[in-house]
């Protein structure tokens, strides 16, 4: 694994979005709103982005509806619910905020999708094996929309937090697994640089581009990564 002072690990200024307190407060309010008026709360990066990721999975010949799928930092659970609506049957969401997990369970059961499993767990826990049950299993598909972004904004040593995150993702995936990551903070090149030791680019989900100051770019980066052959070979031998 790369050293923590590697140039491939640029750091952002920390922000409250990188703290558990922020998410607990956010989901505390969202639980209240859901109970009061049935509002499910924020889908990060919008519904269209969520649907594009779901479309990609639905159209991938290599992913079957009974493959185990985990959504990392599942928030209000809407990504799992979207996939359940499309026929995927083995869905798990994990989030370190108990209030997010409470919200996602309420939203899912109110929409008739009580079969989705939601569990509280910390993706950057140093404990190995992770005490969170769903983080000790293997998945064909590992999804992240906005969670690596949040972890990157953690106050303190966010570089080592990201290295823990990377180790968790690797541990969770089957050797032929797919990792879908959607970010608004990191560019395609930065994501590929960070994950390059263990993952290679398989596909990219394209979004509408915007122009600003003569530069054309996309608001979000969404990549589909697979484990590199040498890593999967080692996994199969152990």
Ligand X SMILES: C[S@@+](CC[C@H](N)C(=O)[O-])C[C@H]1O[C@@H](n2cnc3c(N)ncnc32)[C@H](O)[C@@H]1O
Which residues in this chain contact ligand X in the complex, by CB under 6 A?
A: 23, 43-44, 73-75, 95-97, 100, 122-124, 145-147, 150-151
Rounded least distance, CB 238 to ligand X, Å: 26
15 versus 228: smaller Cβ distance to ligand X: 15
Consecutive H or E run containing 225:
strand 221-227
Shortest distance in whole angstroms from residue 117 CB to ligand X: 15
Question: Residue 70 or residue 225: which is nearer to ligand X going by CB?
Answer: 70
Question: What torsion, rounded to 10 degrees, do the Cα atoms 68, 63, 41, 30 define?
Answer: 10
Nearer Cβ to ligand X (44/113)? 44
Q: Which is nearer to ligand X, 85 or 234 (CB)?
A: 85
Q: Are 65 and 88 in contact (CB under 8 A)?
A: yes
Nearer to ligand X, 67 or 71 (CB): 71
- Least distance between ligand X and beta carbon 80 (Å): 10
* CA-closest candidate to residue 35, choices 93, 102, 97, 94: 102
CB of 203 to ligand X, least distance (A): 19
Q: Distance between CA atoms of 53 and 111, rounded to whole angstroms?
A: 21
Q: Which residue has the tokens 């979000």?
A: 220
Least distance in angstroms from the C-beta of 86 to ligand X: 17
> Pairing state of beta strands 117-120 and 139-145?
unpaired
Alpha carbon distance 174, 227 (integer Å): 9
d(CA 174, CA 82): 23
> Could you tell me which of 199, 192, 195 has the C-alpha nearest to residue 231?
199
């Amino acid at each position: 694994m790369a050293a923590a002072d590697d140039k491939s690990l640029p750091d952002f200024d920390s922000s409250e979005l990188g703290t558990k307190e922020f998410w607990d407060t956010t989901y505390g309010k969202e639980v209240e709103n859901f109970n009061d008026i049935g509002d499910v709360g924020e889908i990060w990066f919008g519904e269209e982005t969520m649907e594009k990721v779901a479309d990609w999975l639905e159209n991938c010949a290599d992913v079957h509806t009974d493959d185990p799928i985990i959504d990392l930092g599942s928030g209000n659970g809407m990504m799992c619910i979207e996939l359940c609506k499309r026929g995927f049957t083995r869905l798990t969401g994990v989030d370190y905020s108990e209030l997010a997990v409470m919200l996602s369970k309420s939203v899912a059961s109110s929409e008739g999708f009580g079969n989705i499993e939601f569990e509280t767990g910390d993706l950057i826990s140093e404990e190995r094996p992770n005490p969170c049950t769903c983080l000790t299993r293997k998945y064909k598909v590992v999804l992240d929309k906005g969670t690596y972004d949040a972890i990157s904004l953690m106050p303190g040593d966010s570089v080592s937090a990201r290295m823990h995150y990377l180790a968790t993702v690797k541990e969770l995936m089957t050797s032929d697994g797919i990792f879908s990551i959607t970010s608004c903070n990191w560019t395609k090149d930065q994501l590929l640089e960070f994950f390059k030791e263990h993952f290679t680019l398989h596909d990219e989900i394209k979004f509408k581009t915007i122009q600003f100051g003569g530069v054309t770019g996309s608001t979000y980066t969404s990549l589909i990564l697979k484990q590199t052959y040498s890593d999967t070979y080692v996994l199969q031998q152990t």
